[in-house]
Amino acid sequence: MLTRLHLALSALLLATAAMPVFAQEVNVYSYRQPELVEPLFNAFTAETGIAVNSVFLSKGLVERLKSEGDRSPADLVLTTDISRLAELVAEGVTQPVESAALDAAIPAIYRDPAHHWFGLTSRARVIYAANDRVADGDVTTYEDLASDKWKGRICTRSGTNAYNVALTAAMIAHHGEEDTAHWLEAVKANLARKPQGNDRAQVKAIWAGECDIAVGNTYYMGLMLKDPEQKAWADSVRIIFPTFEDGGTHVNVSGVAMTKAAPNRDNAVKLMEFLASHTGQELYAEINDEYPVDPSVPASALVTSWGSFTPDALNLMDIAHMRPAALRLTETVDFDG
What is the C-alpha separation between 14 and 16, in angstroms, rounded?
A: 5
CATH number assigned to the domain covering 25-122+253-299: 3.40.190.10
Topology agreement, domain 25-122+253-299 and domain 123-250+312-332? yes
Contacts of 176 (CB under 8 A, 6+ apart): none
Would you identify the CATH topology of the domain 123-250+312-332? D-Maltodextrin-Binding Protein; domain 2 (3.40.190)
> Strand, helix or coil at 143?
helix
- Output the CA torsion sign for 203, 204, 208, 210: negative
What is the bridge-based pairing of β-strands 76-80 and 24-30? parallel
> Strand, helix or coil at 239?
strand
Q: Are 134 and 278 in contact (CB under 8 A)?
A: no
Nearest to 285 by CA among 121, 133, 67, 89: 121
Q: Are 302 and 225 in contact (CB under 8 A)?
A: yes
Spell out the domain ranges in the chain.
25-122+253-299, 123-250+312-332
Q: For 34, how many CA atoms within 13 A lie in the half-sphere containing its CB?
A: 6
> Strand, helix or coil at 279?
helix
H-state helical runs in 53-161: 61-68, 82-90, 100-105
What is the C-alpha separation between 2 and 266, in angstroms, rounded?
A: 46
Nearest to 82 by CA among 322, 249, 248, 255: 255
pLDDT tens for each residue of the chain, 337 residues long: 334 334 433 443 333 333 343 459 999 999 988 888 999 999 999 999 999 999 998 889 999 999 999 999 999 999 988 989 999 999 999 999 999 999 999 999 999 999 999 999 999 999 999 999 999 999 999 999 999 999 999 999 999 999 999 999 999 999 999 999 999 999 999 999 999 999 999 999 999 999 999 999 999 999 999 999 999 999 999 999 999 999 999 999 999 999 999 999 999 999 999 999 999 999 999 999 999 999 999 999 999 999 999 999 998 989 999 999 999 999 999 999 9
Give, as one character, the DSSP assignment of residue 109.
Answer: G
What is the C-alpha separation between 26 and 228, in angstroms, rounded?
A: 37
Most distant CA pair in the chain, distance = 82
